[in-house]
Homo-oligomer: A and B are copies of this chain.
């Protein structure tokens, strides 16, 4: 337990220090080779990689539509209900984010519009690895569906010759996704970026992944003009602010639910009460033994900080300094503090709002800025699937008036032709009036 006010600013900074994550030059070189291979050989490259990396004997790329449609028959009614509910809640919250065009005259005869265009083709990466992640499909697929994107491609790795988990296929079906590609890693990213015979080329790629996926996303964004990616991904993190009446069992469970994500996860507890911190540490030890991923969680906890602050007020300052992906407020009354929330990805208010509610089903998005990006980057939202552009329509009289603003500025900036584009029109108007 660190007593915030009793240590130096260096020690304070160290307590909030994230583990360094820098991609190795080796990862970059491997990704570049894979990308070049996919760019040149397309589907053939993807099929060869499926054999080589995913131990597939008879790899295929596209999942037949019938398999997507039939997947729900393999789900328990409980899991189907869960996916349906999560889908409905996420859809409800994001539907409210549908953008509206703006149209106004800035001065008479000068009409300006801000318009939204759905990004036409989007790619969604769903990691495979240790567990199937239907929630990851929902958190991205619902937004693609709501945007009206013309092309939505989902890529996910398949290990051995097991079929894709039916929960993933069913979630994709709800989101209206018809193009599901059995391919993972940097190869899948390259396929969506360049396009192959089976995989449509997309404009923007979303989704988390391992260091190869993250590196490949960065490389395609840097090298292909106009190619976009969602946001830089880092290890997951939670910061809990708890007052003296908070329940240590709840706090411990929330910290562990973050810690089980990976050994590089980071969890931070801030409290104004030393007893709560001590009781939480005891509760963690008790709860840890029951978890299947206890080794991962224990390693993550080793990087973590339990900090005693002077006041809940101060806890919010420390949180803003850290910029947590998830911020949990186990406070008797969080309302007076909500205006102090800064640099958080998603906030969980009150004793009965665990992070796992937002991870799965409350309706908010679980794709969040991490690793300090939350000072500038947004939680994934519907506008990430749109772009804006502007339109202006000016009448003859509108231009005549506006010329008094344009011409002196063009002159000040030494741009004759900018002025001339207005002057030829004013002259034409004058000739017309003669």
A side interface size, CB within 8 A:
131
Q: Are B133 and A413 neighbours in the complex by a CB distance under 8 Å?
A: yes
A167 and B411 CA atoms in complex are apart in Å by: 12
| A419 CA / B424 CA spacing, docked (Å) | 70
Whether A344 touches B389, Cβ cut-off 8 Å, given contacts A381-B114, A405-B361, A408-B81, is yes
Within 8 A of B (CB), among A92-150: 92-93, 96-97, 102, 104, 106-107, 110, 112, 114, 117, 119-120, 130-135
Q: Chain B residues near A387 (CB, 8 Å)?
A: 369, 374-378
* Residues in B whose Cβ lies below 8 Å from that of A376: 119, 203-204, 226-228, 387
- Contact residue among B97, B135, B373, B421 (Cβ-Cβ distance under 8 Å from A355): B421
Pick the residue among B226, B254, B353, B428 that contacts A394 (CB under 8 A): B353
For residue A293, CB closer than 8 A to chain B, the reply is yes
Give chain B nearest CB distance to A85 CB in angstroms: 4
Looking at chain A's contact residues, the main secondary structure is mixed
- Are the C-beta atoms of A349 and B391 separated by less than 8 Å? yes
Contact A250:B421 (CB < 8 A) given known A375-B203, A392-B362: yes
**A392 & B357 in contact (Cβ 8 Å cutoff):** yes
Please give the distance in Å from A110's CB to the nearest CB on chain B.
5
Q: Which residues of chain A have a CB within 8 Å of any CB of chain B? A: 18, 76, 78-79, 81-83, 85-86, 88-89, 92-93, 96-97, 102, 104, 106-107, 110, 112, 114, 117, 119-120, 130-135, 165, 167, 203-204, 225-228, 234, 247, 249-250, 253-254, 256-257, 259-261, 287, 290-293, 297, 323, 338, 341-365, 369, 371-379, 381, 383, 387-396, 398-399, 402, 404-425, 428
